[in-house]
Structure 1
Amino acid sequence: MKILKIIYWVTTGLVAFGMLVSFFNYMFNPAMKAGYAHIGFPDWFRVELGIAKLLGAIALIVPKIPRPLKEWAYFGFFVNFFSAIIAHYAVNDPVVNMIAPLAVLILLIISYISYHKAIVKTLK
């Protein structure tokens, strides 16, 4: 059970760290604004998504957050990463642009599975 908790905290920490970095990029990096325009998304969506990433990262990392909020954070991140892959594909971006969202999606799935096996199971 201890190894599952380690896997959970490492993968969750990496996802949350990535989302915090992403939040700051979304808010303060002009290249991100240009990237959103390239894909065809409005600028307000970049800001909204950045705030959602910050809140989702907090929901994943803080241990006392109620389980339904964590589940929604996992779901929101899943939709976000999967949609990012599709968006890059739809505008014919190089495959390398799809690697980061795919890698974080895999980490998220591992975090979610280990969350249910190590954390939720011990709460029952």
Structure 2
Amino acid sequence: MQLAGKTHWSFTTRTIIYWIATAIVLLETTVGAYWDLAQLPFVQQVFVTLGYPSYLLYIIGAWKIAAVLVLILPKLGRQKEWAYCGIFLVYITAAYSHIATHDTASAVGPIIFATLSLVSWATRPESRKWLIPDAASSTTTVFKVIYWTVTVITAMVMISGGLADVVLATGPENGMRQMGYPDFFTQLLGIYKTLGGLAILLPNKRFRIIKEWAYAGIIFDLTGASVSHAFVGNHMHIIWPWMFVVTTAVSWRLGAFRK
């Protein structure tokens, strides 16, 4: 009886923590999405101070709305992994941006919300988790060739591009500057890309959640790059990221059938 009571208490406490953390994150993200999409003057001023282009507010605002809807709706466990990944990246990047511009005090808020998003993820109930199915490894040569071809291509693009961003190589640096992004963001993005590229090469059995977050981050990066090129009128580079969105999507989809 004592054990049962303790288990019930733990379940109840976990549920309360989940809903408190989730409610705070959803409220902040919803309000933030409105502020971003409405391009409120004080929000624009923050972006100018940090060195970001104002059009990025539209991209982030749209992502936030999608994440909020996915987290509110029941089930959708796999999609919720993407939502949590996106929210965490937005807040941790915001915190880093304030620190990089020597405004450490302003980084506290984003760090708190990034932490709460992880708390929400860690305490989410079973009904809102991604119930990973038992996948049988395919023995067909064609399957393996296609999977590893698109996966290695995607990984190499992310790793090589990420390392170039980290060291501010001439090409990526100028490209990011042309789109209005500050150098510190280019370097942080390079770290994200490198880690994401390495992560999708990991085996599914032990690292499926990490790989899911990596795939989500890669898709966010590539689609964000395409939209950024569109906003600055660099139409020649709009299609290029989508080529790798396709390779990433194929790798992600085929990876679901591998152990």
Instruction: Answer whether TM exceeds 0.5 for this pair.
Output: yes
1:97-116 matches, cutoff 5 A: 97-116=237-256
Gaps of 5+ in 1: none
1:17 to 156, 163, 181: 156
1:78 to 219, 223, 226: 219
1:20-99 matches, cutoff 5 A: 20-28=159-167, 29-63=169-203, 66-94=207-235, 96-99=236-239
Higher helix share: 1
Q: Which moved more, 1:72-81 or 1:24-33?
A: 24-33
For the residue of structure 2 that corresponds to 1:61, the secondary structure is: coil
For the residue of structure 2 that corresponds to 1:56, the secondary structure is: helix
For the residue of structure 2 that corresponds to 1:40, the secondary structure is: coil
Gaps of 5+ in 2: 1-137
Higher Cα Rg: structure 1 or 2? 2
The answer on whether the counterparts of 2:159 and 2:195 sit within 8 Å (CA) in structure 1 is no
How far the C-alpha of 1:43 sits from its partner, in A, is: 1.1
The answer on whether the counterparts of 1:12 and 1:108 sit within 8 Å (CA) in structure 2 is yes
- RCO greater where, 1 or 2, for CA within 8 Å and sep 6 or more? 1
Compute the RMSD of aligned alpha carbons: 1.5
How far the C-alpha of 1:58 sits from its partner, in A, is: 1.0
Residue 4 of structure 1 corresponds to: 143
| TM-score normalised over the length of structure 1 | 0.87
Cα distance in 1 for partners of 2:253, 2:144 equals 11
How far the C-alpha of 1:6 sits from its partner, in A, is: 2.0
User: How many aligned residue pairs are there?
Assistant: 118
The answer on whether the counterparts of 1:5 and 1:114 sit within 8 Å (CA) in structure 2 is no
Which aligned segments of 4 or more residues in structure 1 are displaced greater than 4 angstroms? Answer: none
